[in-house]
Amino acid sequence: MTTDMKKHEEPMSTATPTRAPHSDVPTGHRPAEGRVGAGLFDPGQLLKSLPDAFRKLDPRVMVKSPVMFVVLVGSVLTTIFSFKDPTDWFGWAISAWLWLTVIFANLAEAVAEGRGKAQADTLRKAKTDTVARRLSGAAEERVPGTELKIGDLVVCEAGDIIPGDGDVVEGVASVDESAITGESAPVIRESGGDRSAVTGGTKVLSDRIVIKITTKPGETFIDRMINLVEGAARQKTPNEIALNILLASLTIVFLLACATLPPFAEYAHKHLTMVVLVALLVCLIPTTIGALLSAIGIAGMDRLVQRNVLAMSGRAVEAAGDVSTLLLDKTGTITLGNRQASEFVPVRGTTEAEVADAAQLSSLADETPEGRSIVVLAKEKYGLRERHQGELADAEWVAFTAQTRMSGVDVDGRKVRKGAAGSVIAWVQQQGGTVAQDADEIANRISEAGGTPLLVAVHDDQGARILGVIHLKDVVKEGMRERFDELRRMGIKTVMITGDNPLTAKAIAEEAGVDDFLAEATPEDKMALIKREQAGGKLVAMTGDGTNDAPALAQADVGVAMNTGTSAAKEAGNMVDLDSNPTKLIEIVEIGKQLLITRGALTTFSIANDVAKYFAIIPALFAAVYPGLDKLNIMGLSSPDSAILSAVIFNALIIIALVPLALRGVQYRPVSADKMLRRNLTIYGLGGLVAPFVGIKIIDLLISLIPGIG
């Protein structure tokens, strides 16, 4: 028989609830109306961001985007050459639309940043200068919160604002974290567990706690959030840098191509002005994706903020999209978390009523959810009146400890014990009793069914013996199998992490539909698993909330720390879930994939656009000199000037038309990579080829209607 089955393999005190206390609304699914940044793209937001778009015309800012910097230089050049001939309407029109192209590109980034700044403004309102009650020995002294240092101890009572980030080292209190999470329901913070971390700017609602400060002033959680959500601390990700290099290379190629056109034109006795050459260059380089690239990255982080997830870097969001292995805690993520007693199974020679009576008696001092469920089951199913500790004045209660893994009571000459199989068997043998042969069979059967067996034993005048087994059932959350099927279609391997024994873990893994499981997991086991997956070239994501999770969170490519967890866990992870909902990891992966898909789709569209514009403009420009090219002028553009101007106008308008898509993101569907590639090539590749032909032709027709131009 497996002797290391545990009563509390995963203590319920560490399970993270998916609902806030006293709240009927699951956290992470609150109405969007009260959430800053939830709106998508509206004219009011656009007008508000317009001043920022003009401020970004600073060359020191523009040079960070090589493609748009070339457009800015081209705009300056065409404006200078237009002054040489103020009557040249074509030069002024090209200059105006090139400037609009740059402004539209800046506007896309400004709108994305504006949503983050709105969130940052809300956080700044929550950040208040507080007076801290710092402990100096046994005495208190009042000091400004800005003077606190790491390691200082401060006291907070009901009504006090917590002056800085830290860990509760004494006491327990109810804390209002609505300024951070948006959730109005209070949370419990206490010393000595995984719910000890508190955030500066939140408010203590009840009781008294002593907090050890863990951050310097100006480096608190709120300060970091403000910098991150408004984009001040956003660094380009490796993929963005690589894509920028590709776009710069394409720009150089098209620059060289445009530089070769004047000699051909001169040979054919046709003069190409600088305005025409700049317009051609701007139309051919990948301005669309160059303009939207930064907005796509900012919007990806903003979508996480809308779901109350703080990404410490854009690299983390991007890595989430490439994750191929997902580590998920069983309790609170895959299962509901509170294991419930479902039946009492007697060994041979014992009745269910005897087992129920002993189980209830031994659970009266057990305040865990499992212990409470045993008392309730005995009352409801077997008609046993719920007894209380006060009724058994002479009883000696045996509390559960991690060492004994048992609880029970000594009363009326009897000793009753309930707990993990190995511990109860060892106790019976120490008392000189024997172990029933079918106890092993019953416990194994329950484990194989996905349950947790707890043995019940008694030592009375008949000696020490096992009475039966309590079946604790861990309920898998509804819809989890379907979610894991989706992840499998996405090519993501799911691994369930649990402290359960292998038999129990296997049964729950099969019921939930995960690909693999790690039973009786220790922090070292988690680290080894992550390193093993990474050695195979895979990116790994996991969640955690305790100090013992910190090494694995730091090792994982995407480490999501729960806001209710310890400071060590939050420092180790590269994301923090403010709702402390472990299932949010699945949404984070989907948002990361949506970011990568959006970037890839718009890059495909942009490059296809350039190809189409090339075949639309060049034939119209040289058809008069080389009549054979007229066959390629399939749109029948009215004149070379109209063809170029139409292309420049289309090039500017398509940027502003795609801003909503860049901010919202391309809809993600859990399909295989080859299907996704075919879909994007069909929609955005083919669409990118067709759109310029249609758009340029419509603009050309409108231009031809203008007297003196057409």
Q: Is residue 403 annotated as involved in ligand binding?
A: yes
Q: What share of the chain is helix, strand, coil (3-state, %, to 5)?
A: 50, 15, 30
Of the residues 329, 440, 577, 579, only one is catalytic, namely 329
Position 280, amino acid:
L
Q: Mean pLDDT check: name the lowest of 169-183, 201-215, 380-394.
A: 380-394
Output the six-digit token pair for 546: 């305790």
Over 80: is that where the pLDDT of 694 sits? yes
Write down the pLDDT at residue 552.
86
pTM comes to 0.66
d(CA 189, CA 126): 19
Question: Is position 405 annotated in a ligand binding site?
Answer: yes
Distance in angstroms between the alpha carbons of the first and the last residue of the chain? 91
Average pLDDT estimate for 502-526: 85
276-303 pLDDT tens trace: 889 888 988 899 898 888 888 878 877 8
pLDDT digits (tens, 9 = 90+) for 312-361: 776 788 888 888 898 887 776 787 666 788 889 999 888 888 899 888 88
DSSP E strand boundaries for 629-678: none
Annotated binding-site residue? 549: yes
Q: Work out the pLDDT band at 19, boundaries 50, 70, 90.
A: very low
Cα gap 646→642, rounded to integer Å: 6
Active site residue 329: yes
Task: Provide the token pair at 305.
Answer: 């903020």
Q: Is 404 a known ligand-binding residue?
A: yes
CA–CA gap between residue 237 and residue 105 (Å, rounded):
20
Is 418 marked as binding a ligand?
yes
Helix ranges (H only) for 12-88 are 43-55, 59-62, 66-84
Distance, CA of 675 to CA of 661 (rounded, Å): 21
Largest CA distance in the chain: 118
3-state SS class at 208: strand
For 121-162, how does the pLDDT look when each residue is reduced to its tens digit (9 = 90+)?
A: 666 665 556 788 898 877 888 888 878 888 899 999 988 888
630, 637 contact by CB (below 8 A): no
* pLDDT exceeds cutoff 90 at 71: yes
Go through the domains of the chain in sequence order and give each one's CATH number: 43-114+230-302+591-704 (no CATH), 148-216 (2.70.150.10), 326-334+477-578 (3.40.50.1000), 342-472 (3.40.1110.10)
Confirm whether residue 545 is marked as ligand binding. yes
Handedness of CA 356, 359, 361, 363 (dihedral sign): negative
Crossing angle of the two packed helices 238-259 and 584-622, in degrees rounded to 10: 0
**401 appears as a binding residue in the annotation:** yes
Candidates 490, 483, 489, 588; CA nearest to 542 is: 588
* Residue 579 marked ligand-binding: no
- 658 three-state secondary structure: helix
Average pLDDT taken over every residue of the chain: 79
The three-state secondary structure class of 496 is strand
- Please give, one letter per residue, the 3-state secondary structure of 431-470: CCCECCHHHHHHHHHHHHCCCEEEEEEEEECCEEEEEEEE
